[in-house]
Amino acid sequence: MAETTSVWFDCDTGFDDLLALVVASRDPSLRLAGVSTVVGNTSLDNTTANTLAAVEAFGIDAPVYRGCAQPIAGPPHTIEGLLGEGGMGTTGRRLAPARRRRAESRHAVRALIAYLRAAGEPALVVATGPLTNLAQAINLAPDVAAKIGRLVVMGGSAGAGNHTAAAEFNAFADPEAWDVVLRAGAPLEMFGLNLTRQVLIGPSDRDRIAAVGTDLAGAVADSLDAYLRIRQRDKPGEMPLHDPCTTVYLARPDWFALEPARVEIELAGRITRGATVCEFRVPRKAQPNALVATRAEGSKVAGRTVDQMVAALRAAA
Ligand code: RIB
Ligand code: CA
């Protein structure tokens, strides 16, 4: 039996989080030790319900823990208006709500602390939403930062934002959390918009998923259709595939290029709050604190994501 690596997956399930989770669940080199939910795309109730629906539909037996319902500072910023009802819109069928799966009683932050402290080796953590759970774990138990061996994050941008001109949504939703994580020295591998915009999914991928022919495939295809219509409701077009870049990277790092950089996040800027400023002139201009993904073989990354989703749908049939 090949050696597996335990991974903790923290998410704000929306559609691309779902894809990233399914990719991780089908990676034979990974073992999902825990899945934690956080407010982000939508409320904590919705991200948790969406995650439970996903783990039940795809037979993912990892425990699910409810996390933080508020960012560290300020009110939550959710984007249902953009993503659709419940943070995972659809143009037709929808994933069935979980009937058997329930969230664990333990809070995600406590569960994450316990997991990191018990880990026999530096842990692998993937985060595809705001970093609130990670940051609160570090705030409550500063020793756990050193227990993180790799922190692979979809968030931020080495270029323009999406939620604002300057800030990517996950970073914007809780910039103080990013600041805690960066200051704690967690070994960050950052997949920002500068990278994820190189990975595109489109109508032909939706059709491939629909062709599996099951109700679940139809629900995923209709959710993807809604995702493809975010920019233009009456015409589905290509969209960046953000979150799956993290879990495809774990399987195929050779499809990506990452560079050392000094990453800092803007907290006080009137129009730049949440911007992740990446200084690549290291160590001349600054000491590096992250590896920032700069290039991806986009069609291969998108292709593997859809392949894994199709395989998962067939396995769930
Ligand atoms: O900016 C893209 C990120 O925001 C993705 O993680 C998406 O799921 C949303 O959370
Ligand atoms: Ca996300």
Instruction: Please state the atom number of ligand 1 nearest to the C-alpha of residue 154.
Output: 6
Asked whether the beta carbons of 158 and 278 are under 8 A apart, the reply is yes
Length of the chain: 317
pLDDT of residue 95: 96
Q: What is the pLDDT of residues 57-86, one digit of tens each?
A: 999 999 999 999 999 998 999 998 888 888
Mean pLDDT of the chain: 97
CA 163 to centroid of ligand 1, rounded, Å? 10
> Per-residue pLDDT tens for 200-241?
999 999 999 999 999 999 999 999 999 999 999 999 999 999
Q: What percent of the chain has pLDDT over 70?
A: 100
Check if 40 has its Cβ closer than 6 Å to any atom of ligand 1.
Answer: yes
Q: For residue 252, what pLDDT is reported? A: 98
In angstroms, the CA 302 to CA 209 distance is: 13
Instruction: Look up 107 and say whether it is catalytic.
Output: no
Q: Which domains does the chain have, with CATH numbers?
A: 5-316 (3.90.245.10)
283: preceding bond cis by omega (within 30 degrees) = yes
Predicted local confidence at residue 85, as pLDDT: 82
Is a pLDDT exceeding 70 seen at residue 1?
A: no
pLDDT at 230: 93
pLDDT digits (tens, 9 = 90+) for 11-45: 999 999 999 999 999 999 999 999 999 999 999 99
Task: Provide the pLDDT for residue 102.
Answer: 98
Other CB atoms within a 10 A radius of the CB of residue 121 amount to 9
Answer for the pair 275, 163: CB distance below 8 angstroms, yes or no. Answer: no
Per-residue pLDDT, averaged over 284-305, amounts to 98
In the 8-state DSSP scheme, what is residue 212? Answer: T
For a mutational test of ligand 1's pocket, the pick from 47, 88, 154, i.e. the residue with the most ligand atoms closer than 8 A to its C-beta, is 154
> 3-class DSSP state for residue 194?
helix
Mean pLDDT of 247-258: 98
Q: Is the separation of the CB atoms in 127 and 151 below 8 Å?
A: yes
Render 80-128 in DSSP notation, one character per residue: HHHH-GGGS--SS--PPPPSS----SS-HHHHHHHHHHH-SSPEEEEE-
CA–centroid distance, residue 284 to ligand 1 (Å)? 32
Q: What residue type is assigned to position 278 of the chain? A: C
Which of the four pLDDT bands, split at 50, 70 and 90, describes residue 247? very high
Long-range CB contacts (< 8 A, 24+ apart) of 98-101? Answer: 98/49, 98/52, 98/53, 98/55, 98/56, 99/56, 100/56, 101/52, 101/55, 101/56, 101/64
Which strand (E) or helix (H) includes residue 201?
A: strand 200-201
How far from 235 is each of 58, 203, 206, 227, 286, CA to CA, in Å?
29, 10, 13, 11, 45
pLDDT reading at 262 higher than 70: yes
Q: Is the CB of 161 under 6 A from ligand 1?
A: no
Alpha helices in the chain (DSSP H): 15-25, 44-57, 80-83, 108-118, 132-140, 169-173, 175-184, 193-196, 203-210, 215-228, 244-251, 298-316
**Rg of the chain, C-alpha, whole Å:** 18
* Res. 120: pLDDT tops 90: no
- Strand ranges of the sheet holding 5-11, from the earlier edge strand across to the other edge: 64-66, 30-37, 5-11, 123-127, 148-154, 188-191, 290-296, 256-265, 276-279
Percentage of residues of the chain with pLDDT beyond 90:
95
Pocket lining: 246 vs ligand 1, CB cutoff 6 Å: no
Which whole-number Å values give the CA distances from 156 to 85, 201, 265, 283, 285, in the listed order? 25, 20, 9, 21, 21
Q: Which amino acid is at 63?
A: P
DSSP string, 227-241: HHTSS-TTS---EE-
User: One of 77, 107, 163, 242 is an active-site residue; which one?
Assistant: 242
| Cα separation, 222 vs 225, whole angstroms | 5
